[in-house]
Structure 1
Amino acid sequence: MSRITHVLFLLLFVLIVIAAIVALSYYGFTYYQLNIEERFYHANHQLLKPSGILGHGLGIIGSLMIIAGVFSYMARKRIAKLSRIGVLKYWLEFHIFLCTLGPVLVLFHTAFKFGGIVSISFWSMVAVVISGVIGRFIYIQIPRTIEGRELSLAEVRETKTDIGTLLKKEYNLSEESYGTIVASVADQPDNESKFLLLRLLAKAKEDRKSYKRIDTELRKNNLSRTERQKIKRLVINEIALNRKIDRLNYMQKLFKYWHVAHLPFALVMLVILLIHVAVTILFGYKWIF
């Protein structure tokens, strides 16, 4: 799939979700803003109530979307025979689409009024959606191949340049300048347990200091402007790769903790959803079947 086609598909997914929210909100606004006691007298009560034709249908379709989104993505990840069907990244994006639109439809199915055991499922669903957004952010921070496979730390390190050897071979630098540049681009392990935003800000500040220090050192040497620019580009690329390695370590740890929150909420939501469906059927509630 070309990049333009990919972007168009993502845009289509977003537009579908927005269109569903706008259309359902517009059609049922006067109904959803009423108290439960007053809704009985609304002209569209039989249509929009949770057991109504539209309300019930939204619940069924939304639930099927959630189930399809969860289990199709899990199957693609865990069943070896499916590993060659499509790119994993596209499966994840389709999973996100279904598990975003599905909860939206379920929300309108409840008519914004829910309680008892169903409320546990609903808030679990909300937690799954929120944690899914966070998980998506973490996911895109981890370097991957074009097929969506996560790169290992060793694979990322293999892309590093031996900048020390290159500088010795190509440029006539003083020992002081050479040592400063090599030390600045060294891949130093970071064991600080900072929040991600603080960590990124600290690293950005540190990198700016390194760039200024290296620029000062380069000016002390008998180099042309073109040579200085080439060395700066090498340094910037190497520091950016160091940050990628650091981010990979950090995000892999976060991803492990993220599963602890995301999966249990998803399981609670699905179990209570199945109980809700079973109880509904036992009490004789039917849709258009």
Structure 2
Amino acid sequence: MTTVELAAQPAGAPRVPFRTRLFRVVHRMFATVLFGLPVLVIAWGLPYYTAPLAERVRHPAHRVLNPAGDIGQAFGVLAFALFLFLWLYPLRKRVGRAPWLGPVRGWLDVHIVAGLAVPLIGAVHATFRFQGVVGLGYAAMLVVALSGVVGRYLYVRIPRGVSGLAASREEIARLRDAMLAELAGRTGMSADELSRALIVSEPVPPRLGIVATFTRLIRDDLRRRRAARRLVREWRRSGAGSRAERDAARSVLRLARRQMALAQQIRMLEATQRVFGYWHAAHLPVAITAMIAVLIHVAVVVSLGVTWFY
């Protein structure tokens, strides 16, 4: 499920902006490189990584794969650079509306890829040995990465504008009305028929707890998929049998999912924002702990001169 952007093009718009298409290509390449490189190194060095510690020093790959080796240390530098890069996203959020910096949503997508890749890249650097400060930093890094996945799940369920900032209820209501009108025009169904077909959630009780909020969100996600397919079936039964109308079924399905997603987001807005606030309060201290551990590790390594760059 993706967050609804208030200034997005209509569902039937045939063209995606060039900048959006370019970002998607670069984003895929970025993810492929960050995950592909460590996977290739792990596959090549698997005999070394699985060897007993006493035998590693005599392994032919030890010279390049150990943490101070050419490949091992290169991955350490990459992990450290990415870890510093992760802190640019919180700074970008604080700037607010700044189109020249790119949308916050784009920064979030890159932030997530980098955050998930750092533990894997760091593991290659450490040759899958985590002791002392390194172990503390790595454990904190894993917690941050896993909690980041949860954070994104919540983040995309808060309606936002193209800048990535949370939208007001008035903006959300206008978008929902526009999407419902477009859906009615495409299907030829009445407002009552659409309302019945698009209901996926009951009223939300006040002060929903954390577990109950997640349970409700996941259940509504599953219901939304079934409701969208049911809408297309009802539309076809109502007489939409021409080839052109059948070809439009995919567009209608996409629009219906967006409309139901928005309705779900409105209904769960307070609960989602409240749980997201709890998540942020827990995520930040662990991220700071990981940063302190990483900085201590880097400072010790550089002070001892265990590097190949000086």
Could you tell me the TM-score, scaled by structure 2's length? 0.68
Identity %: 27
| 1:110 maps to 2:139 | no
How far 1:94 sits from its partner (Å)?
2.2
Partner of 2:60: 43
Q: Distance in 2 between matches of 1:181 and 1:45?
A: 65
Tell me the secondary structure at the aligned position of residue 129 of structure 1: helix
| 1:245 maps to 2:259 | no
Q: Distance in 1 between matches of 2:84 and 2:261?
A: 40
Gapped regions of structure 1 (runs ≥ 5): 164-172, 216-223, 227-232
Amino acid at match of 1:29: L
Partner of 2:204: 190
How far 1:240 sits from its partner (Å)?
5.9
Tell me the secondary structure at the aligned position of residue 156 of structure 2: helix
Q: State whether residues 147 and 283 of structure 2, in contact with CA within 8 Å, keep that contact through their aligned partners in structure 1.
A: yes
Q: Distance in 2 between matches of 1:127 and 1:279?
A: 24
Gapped regions of structure 2 (runs ≥ 5): 1-17, 181-189, 241-251
C-alpha change, 1:242 and 1:275, in structure 2 (3 Å) is same
Partner of 1:168: none
Q: CA RMSD in A?
A: 3.6
How far 1:185 sits from its partner (Å)?
8.9
Q: 1:215-230 counterparts in 2 under 5 A? A: none
Q: Distance in 2 between matches of 1:31 and 1:185?
A: 56
Match of 2:115 among 99, 106, 110: 99
Aligned length: 254
Match of 1:63 among 77, 80, 87: 80
Q: Distance in 2 between matches of 1:139 and 1:258?
A: 10
Q: 1:99-248 counterparts in 2 under 5 A? A: 99-161=115-177, 189-191=203-205, 192=208, 193-194=212-213, 195=215, 196-198=217-219, 200=221, 241-248=262-269
Q: Which protein is bigger by CA-based radius of gyration? A: 1
How far 1:266 sits from its partner (Å)?
0.7
Structure number with greater CO (CA < 8 Å, separation at least 6) is 2
Amino acid at match of 2:111: H
Q: State whether residues 62 and 102 of structure 1, in contact with CA within 8 Å, keep that contact through their aligned partners in structure 2.
A: yes
Q: State whether residues 17 and 100 of structure 1, in contact with CA within 8 Å, keep that contact through their aligned partners in structure 2.
A: no
C-alpha change, 1:98 and 1:139, in structure 2 (3 Å) is same
Q: Distance in 1 between matches of 2:62 and 2:195?
A: 72
Amino acid at match of 2:91: A
| 1:7 maps to 2:57 | no
Amino acid at match of 1:75: L
Q: 1:10-89 counterparts in 2 under 5 A? A: 10-68=27-85, 70-79=86-95, 84-89=100-105
Could you tell me the TM-score, scaled by structure 1's length? 0.73
How far 1:119 sits from its partner (Å)?
0.7
For residues 235-272 of structure 1, what are the alpha-carbon distances to aligned partners after superposition, in whole Å with 9 as ceiling and x for unaligned?
Answer: x7976653231133332222112112221111000001
Q: Distance in 2 between matches of 1:16 and 1:189?
A: 45
How far 1:83 sits from its partner (Å)?
6.2
C-alpha change, 1:264 and 1:83, in structure 2 (3 Å) is farther
